[in-house]
Amino acid sequence: MQISFLIHNGYGIGGTIRTTFTLAETLAEHHDVEIVSVFRHRDTPVFDLGPGVRLRHLVDMRKNTPGYEGDDPAHRRPSRVFPVDDNRYPQYSALTDERIGRFLKSLDSDVVVGTRPGLNVHIALQCPSRVVRVAQEHLTLDVHPPMLNLRLRSLYPRMDALTTVTEADAEAYRRRMRLPGVRIEAVPNGVPEPGVAPGDGTGRYVVAAGRLAPVKRYDMLVRAFGKVVRERPDWKLRIYGGGEQKERLRSLIDRSGLYNHVYLMGPAAPLEAEWVKGSIAAVTSSLESFGMTIVEAMRCGLPVVSTACPHGPREIIRDGVDGRLVPPGDADAMASALLELINDDVLRRRMGRAALSSSARFDPGEIAARYEDLFDDLVRGHRGAGGVLRSLGRETRGRLLSGAYTVTDTARRVKRSIA
């Protein structure tokens, strides 16, 4: 198969970029795969992309280079295709409309995969029906603005499939979007096997990682760890990541007298070497569309104490087996769950081994195989009679079904669509 991924910016950093690269690399072991980045703002991507995947861009935003297009007059005019309620809208323009449209209309791949709502809208409107069209949702239905959901509800019926990263979100799309004829599947993100030996459960560190943003509720984690320290002052908390709440969290740590126990470590990549220095991972989010850090920690042999927030943690962690789930926003429950594992070496190490074992189901090979099965089914459907009919286009289908075309006309058009 020929598979194309359409992504906002493959040269940046973020969970969608990382998981797209991982999936593309794994699929490229057996298929022809490319990643098409709408924007390019640096010479080389942040994440390593193996030689089996082609990476190309549509709009060059590298300042002080001959190819820079940020001053193109078309880039100053607003986009008419990319939805206003997608939060990336200010970066899109008449120039991106033209470039994305040209790319999609000339596409000769079997499958194209959009990786955010705005790009899925482009695919729904501009991609020929001869190509299997798949919309990936890396966030959740609940976090989209209402007007964006209305737009998606009107256009997603043109897609062949929609994938979410959790079953809870897939069920929300099935129940609330009601997309006739669109296959809706939950396929989690793949997380590679770490390049380091798993943790042995002896390090006296709780580790957390992610953006220092309100949704992560690190303020609650700091307060919970204050309760832990009163009983076990020999344990420390390390929080990795950068973001808008850094100074606010620093102030909270200082006011709470925890400056010798809670450390803001800043961003770190890769995190594998940092996970294995700890013995427990902590997640206090009020919302997790999936929970990449949960799986990363488990793949390093750490049990995870997490809030049972929507959507991901409850589908990843088996409470009492490879981690603990506590009510969102409950600092006392978080502290109690952490102390349970801190005070019981045998339990902590047993859960760590279980986490290592159960997280293997997120291996990129397992996830790519699920996508491969989905793509195979969709491509075969397109090549069947129904697929040929769809490939003729809306106007042609209408004329064909109304009897406006002769048998000879119909045969000629079907033959052209297959070719």
Token code pair at residue 157:
């019926």
Residues 339 and 268 in one domain: yes
Select the more confidently predicted residue: 154 or 14.
154
| Range(s) of the domain holding residue 404 | 387-419
* 250 and 152 within one domain: no
- Same domain (yes/no): 84, 217: no
Predicted local confidence at residue 351, as pLDDT = 98
User: How high does pLDDT run on average in the chain?
Assistant: 91
346-354 long-range contacts, CB within 8 A, separation 24+ = 348/201, 348/279, 348/280, 348/303, 349/200, 349/201, 351/303, 351/321, 351/322, 351/323, 352/198, 352/199, 352/201, 352/279, 352/301, 352/302, 352/303, 353/301, 354/303, 354/318, 354/321, 354/322
**Confidence (pLDDT) at 51:** 87
Q: How many residues does the structure list for the chain?
A: 419
Same domain, 26 and 140: yes
CB count in 10 Å sphere of residue 78: 12
Instruction: Please check whether residues 136 and 177 belong to one and the same domain.
Output: yes
Closest among 115, 177, 189, 183 to 148, alpha carbons compared: 177
Angle, vertex CA 394, rays to CA 97 and CA 390, nearest 5 = 100
In a domain, 174, yes or no: yes
Same domain, 157 and 90: yes
Do 15 and 153 belong together in one domain?
yes
Question: Does 377 reside within a domain?
Answer: no
pTM of the model: 0.86
Cβ neighbours of residue 238 under 8 Å, at least 6 residues apart?
Answer: 205, 206, 207, 208, 263, 265, 274, 277, 278
Residue 302 lies in a domain: yes
Same domain, 238 and 347: yes
Is residue 300 predicted with pLDDT exceeding 70? Answer: yes
CATH number at 270 reads: 3.40.50.2000
Side-chain half-sphere exposure of 262, counting CA atoms within 13 A: 26
Could you give the 3-state DSSP secondary structure of residue 86?
Answer: coil
| 167 and 34 within one domain | yes
Q: CA 134 to CA 167: how far, in whole Å?
A: 17
Residues 117, 83 contacting (CB under 8 angstroms): yes
Instruction: Answer whether residue 372 shows pLDDT above 80.
Output: yes
Percentage of the residues of the chain whose pLDDT score is greater than 90:
86
Same domain for 114 and 241, yes or no, is no
Bridge partner residues of 33 (DSSP): 3, 53
Tell me, yes or no, whether 192 lies in a domain.
no
With a cut of 50, say whether residue 218 has pLDDT above it: yes
Q: How far apart are CA 17 and CA 9, in angstroms?
A: 8
Q: Could you give the C-alpha distances from 367 to 141, 165, 329, 404, in angstroms and in order?
A: 22, 11, 32, 46
Cα 67–Cα 25–Cα 6 angle in degrees, nearest 5: 50
99-121 pLDDT per residue, tens: 999 999 999 999 999 999 999 99
Work out the burial of residue 296: count CB atoms within 10 Å of its CB; fewer than 13 is exposed, 13-18 middle, 19 or more buried: buried
Count of structural domains, the chain: 3
Within a domain: 97: yes
Q: What is the DSSP letter of 319?
A: B
| Residue 398 confidence class, pLDDT cut points 50, 70, 90 | very low
Q: Please check whether residues 249 and 315 belong to one and the same domain.
A: yes
Q: Are residues 251 and 325 in the same domain?
A: yes
Average pLDDT over every residue of 277-305 = 96
pLDDT at 173 over 60: yes
- DSSP notation for 203-234: S-EEEEES--SGGG-HHHHHHHHHHHHHH-TT
Q: Distance between CA 393 and CA 416 in Å, rounded?
A: 12
Average pLDDT of the segment spanning 119-129: 96
